[in-house]
Amino acid sequence: MAEKYVNLADVRKMLDAESSVRELGATQKSALEHSQSMASLSADDIKALVTEVRALTFVTNYAAYKIGDILPKYPEDVRAIFTKERVNLSAEDVKQILEIVGKYL
């Protein structure tokens, strides 16, 4: 089974819909609060950002969704996202990501 990533705006939307049907559990309530406070873009904007970042050959699905959720503003933030990826990003790679993110902020 392939991994499927979901951005925070979609999590917020799913949990909002679920909360209108039934009482959320403690973990779900916590996830809803987190997604409400952290997802500053709409689901459509995050999807567009993820698609645009994913077009860069060195960006994995995992990294693209993390970029969409975190919306890094500084090179150090971008590099932190890629520490698990074991990718050596050039200054140009980081600049490309920050420029794409900047279009959505």
* Structural domain boundaries in the chain: 8-38, 43-104
Q: Tell me if 11 sits within 8 A of 31, measured CB to CB.
A: yes
In angstroms, the CA 72 to CA 97 distance is 9
pLDDT at 3: 79
Structure tokens at 20: 């209108």
Does the pLDDT at position 97 exceed 90? yes
pLDDT at 100: 98
Please, is 87 exposed, middle or buried when counting C-beta atoms within 10 Å of its C-beta (0-12, 13-18, 19+)?
middle
pLDDT at 82: 94
CATH number, span 43-104 = 1.10.150
pLDDT at 14: 92
In angstroms, the CA 90 to CA 96 distance is 10
pLDDT at 38: 86
- Rg, the chain, Cα only: 15
Tell me: the pLDDT tens digits for 43-93? 899 999 999 999 999 999 999 999 999 999 999 999 999 998 888 899 999
Cβ density class 9-40: b for 16+ within 10 Å, e for less? bebbbbbeeeeeeeeeeeebeebbeebeeebe
Does the pLDDT at position 1 exceed 80? no
Q: What's the whole-model pTM score?
A: 0.85
